[in-house]
Amino acid sequence: MNKRFTRILATSIAAAALMGSLAACGKGSASATSEGGNEITMWTHNAGNPDELAAIKSVVDSYNKSGAAKAQIKVQAFPQESYNDSVVSAAAAGKLPCIVDIDGPNVPNWAWAKYLTPLKLSVDLSKNLPSTVAKWEGETYAVGYYDVALAMFARASDLKAAGIRAATVEKPWTKEEFQDALTKLKALGKWQYPLDMGTAGTGEWLPYAYSPLLQSFGGDLVNRDGFQTADGALNSDKAVEWAAWFRGLADQGFMAKKSGKDSTQDFLNNKSGIVYTGSWAADKARKALGKDLAVMPSVDLGNGPKIGGASWQWGVTSGCKNSEAAMDYLSYSLKPENIAAVAKATGTIPATDEAAALLPAFAEGGDNRVFMELSRQQAVMRPETPAYPFIATEYGKAVQDILAGADPKTVLDKAVKAIDANIKSNGGYKN
């Protein structure tokens, strides 16, 4: 046994030595968040997205190599799904980097929590897509290179076979037309459910995808006048109407209460006639369907068609010791060619017309120009309040309960109560 114990000890020492040597290999980055010398760190959410990451790194490289760089920027990439948790933990430990990217609707919360400082950039942001500039309490805290837009995809041949007109940006479907279209598509007998609304989605998808439908009905997530209560907005008659309508899509057999995990792929595999998705899926769908792909705007449910605005954006942290360099880099990165490069890599809508002109797909007459129009005409910002992450969670739960068959009014009242209590317990989220 003496030998066995010695073996365990030897293994332990060998393993510790291995970790030591690995630590030495990773030493350069072990203290990456401590911003020493003339280097500042930038965190981004796209570790699992090689194309976007490469585009961001390319912008950073060109800045670092430019003679005018006020600091060397170092990129650290995190997976998107867990990015927010990493930022919140780092903030708790006082280890935030100088530059972070942020999902647009979270900007007010991060600004309120003092993670972010107002931007002082040397570029004019007035011509950017409004949804790519995040403001709170009159200050700009973040700016993005791109936005994405929700839309409905269908096969033009299916619409023709069912005798349905394709909706356009100028003339979207009304609620009645949508009902008629779904009835006709179902009658074709090609699919169990003609519509895929991505009901298996979780997290931010739920408010991003479904709150514009609520807003098109005339409801909202919160009363935007001061953002102090959701009462009268999320549980209004219009909101209850929306909930009943949404649930009705499932009850009538038009959509599954829980769709497949990948709605776009299911649509391409002809498991649905219409998929509610976004600009990010357009290139894949067009590659598979070619000219048969019909990109249609969201339905006008009474108050005009609406889609969610704001995607990932960049901000500077309040603890940054070299914020001047951070602002300088962000200003540099907003050049049209940089915006275009990132938008091209991600298949997203470039934030400015100048950048769009550099991308044939988004230039006038381009295949993806429609998304730019949708973003300009229909985007509604998710409520610009620090309470948004909580509101989003409550709304997501309410959507799932409604789909599961709960009484809409009861569910929405419950969500309102929770949201109001949260706002109150945080002192109204005052600055």
Partner 1 sequence: MKNVLRLNSIGAMAVRILFAAVAAFPIVFMLVSSLKPDQQIFGDMSSVAAFLPIGNISLDNYTAVFDRVPAARFLINSVGVSAVTVVLGIFVNSLCAFALSRMQVRGKRVVFTAILATLIVPFQTLALPLVWWVNQLPYFELNGFSLEISKGWLDTYQVQIIPFIANAFSIYLYHQYFESIPKELDEAARIDGAGWFKIYRQVVMPLAGPATATVAILTFLPAWNSYLWPLMVVQSEELRPVMIGIQYFFQLNVSWGEVMAYASLITVPVVVLFIAFQRSFINSIASSGVKG
Binder to partner 1 among 42, 55, 73, 77 (CB under 8 A)? 77
- Cα–Cα distance for residue pair 295/308, rounded to 1 Å: 17
Q: Is 180 exposed, middle or buried, given 0-12, 13-18 or 19+ CB atoms closer than 10 A?
A: middle
Count of residues near partner 1 by CB under 8 A: 56
In the complex with partner 1, the residue whose CB is nearer, 85 or 137, is 85
CB of 379 to partner 1, least distance (A): 17
Binder to partner 1 among 186, 238, 271, 369 (CB under 8 A)? 271
Based on the shown chain and the rule CB under 8 A, indicate whether residue 252 belongs to the binding site for partner 1.
Answer: no
Report which secondary-structure segment, H or E, holds 294: strand 293-296
**Helices 50-65 and 323-333, interaxial angle, to 10°?**
110
In the complex with partner 1, the residue whose CB is nearer, 262 or 353, is 262
CB of 348 to partner 1, least distance (A): 9
Q: Give the phi and the psi of residue 426 in degrees, each rounded to 5.
A: -105, 25
Binding mask 89-128 for partner 1 (x = CB under 8 A): xx-xxxx---------------------------------
* 349-350 and 146-147 beta bridge pairing: antiparallel
Based on the shown chain and the rule CB under 8 A, indicate whether residue 248 belongs to the binding site for partner 1.
Answer: no
**CA geometry: angle 326, 379, 88, nearest 5 deg:** 40
Based on the shown chain and the rule CB under 8 A, indicate whether residue 12 belongs to the binding site for partner 1.
Answer: yes
Based on the shown chain and the rule CB under 8 A, indicate whether residue 68 belongs to the binding site for partner 1.
Answer: no
Based on the shown chain and the rule CB under 8 A, indicate whether residue 72 belongs to the binding site for partner 1.
Answer: no
CB of 370 to partner 1, least distance (A): 18
Nearest by Cα to 192 from 293, 270, 268, 262: 270
- Cα–Cα distance for residue pair 277/371, rounded to 1 Å: 12
In the complex with partner 1, the residue whose CB is nearer, 284 or 409, is 284
What b/e sequence results for 26-37 when a residue is b if at least 16 CB atoms lie within 10 Å of its CB, and e otherwise? eeeeeebbebee
Structure tokens at 13: 């020492």
Q: Which range of residues in 137-145, 222-230, 243-251, 266-274 is near partner 1 by CB under 8 A? A: 266-274
Binder to partner 1 among 56, 60, 78, 387 (CB under 8 A)? 78
Based on the shown chain and the rule CB under 8 A, indicate whether residue 18 belongs to the binding site for partner 1.
Answer: yes
Q: Which range of residues in 219-227, 256-264, 329-337, 412-420 is near partner 1 by CB under 8 A? A: 256-264
* DSSP line for 127-159: TS-GGGEEEETTEEEEE-SEE--EEEEEEHHHH
Q: Where are the alpha helices (DSSP H) in 93-224?
A: 107-112, 156-162, 175-187, 205-217
Q: Give the phi and the psi of residue 77 in degrees, each rounded to 5.
A: -105, 140
291 Cβ partners below 8 Å, 6+ apart?
156
CB of 242 to partner 1, least distance (A): 25
Based on the shown chain and the rule CB under 8 A, indicate whether residue 249 belongs to the binding site for partner 1.
Answer: no
Based on the shown chain and the rule CB under 8 A, indicate whether residue 192 belongs to the binding site for partner 1.
Answer: no
- Cα–Cα distance for residue pair 393/348, rounded to 1 Å: 26
The answer to whether 67 and 94 have CB atoms below 8 angstroms apart is no
Q: Which range of residues in 30-38, 123-131, 152-160, 408-416 is near partner 1 by CB under 8 A? A: 30-38
CB of 373 to partner 1, least distance (A): 21
Amino acid at 15: A
The DSSP secondary-structure symbol of 305 reads -
Residue 233: count other Cβ atoms within 10 Å of its Cβ.
Answer: 23
Q: Partners of 312 in the beta sheet?
A: 103
CB of 420 to partner 1, least distance (A): 26
CB of 353 to partner 1, least distance (A): 24
Based on the shown chain and the rule CB under 8 A, indicate whether residue 202 belongs to the binding site for partner 1.
Answer: no
Structure tokens at 85: 């948790």
Q: Is 93 exposed, middle or buried, given 0-12, 13-18 or 19+ CB atoms closer than 10 A?
A: exposed
In the complex with partner 1, the residue whose CB is nearer, 68 or 92, is 92
Binder to partner 1 among 38, 50, 54, 258 (CB under 8 A)? 50
Q: Which residues in 142-171 contact partner 1 (CB under 8 A)?
A: 148
In the complex with partner 1, the residue whose CB is nearer, 8 or 404, is 8
Q: Which residues bind partner 1 (CB under 8 A)?
A: 1-2, 4-5, 8, 11-12, 15-16, 18-19, 22-23, 25-26, 29-34, 43, 46-50, 76-82, 85-86, 89-90, 92-95, 148, 260-262, 264-266, 268-269, 271, 278, 280-281, 284
